[in-house]
Amino acid sequence: MTRAVDRVYSHIRDSIVSGKFAPGSRLGEVELAELTATSRTPVREALRQLEMEGLVEVLPNKGARVYEWTADDLDEIYDLRMTLEAMAAARAAKRISEKDVDRLSELCDLMEIAARGGAAQQLDLMAQLNDEFHSIVRTAAASTRLMPMLGAVVQLPLVLRTFHRFAPADLTRSHAHHRDLVAALRAGDETWADSVMRAHVRAAKHVLLQSLEADERRNSK
Residue range 78-129, pLDDT digits in tens: 899 999 999 999 999 999 999 999 999 999 999 999 988 766 678 788 888 9
Task: Tally helices (H) and strands (E) across the chain.
Answer: 10, 3
Strand (E) positions, 25-123?
26-27, 56-59, 63-66
Residue range 202-212, pLDDT digits in tens: 999 998 888 87
Give me the pLDDT at residue 100, please.
98
Residue range 8-42, pLDDT digits in tens: 998 998 888 767 887 788 999 999 999 999 999 99
Distance from first CA to last CA of the chain, Å, rounded? Answer: 40
Phi then psi dihedrals of residue 23, to 5 deg = -55, 135
Distance CA 173, CA 199 (A): 10
- The whole-number average pLDDT for the span 67-82 is 85
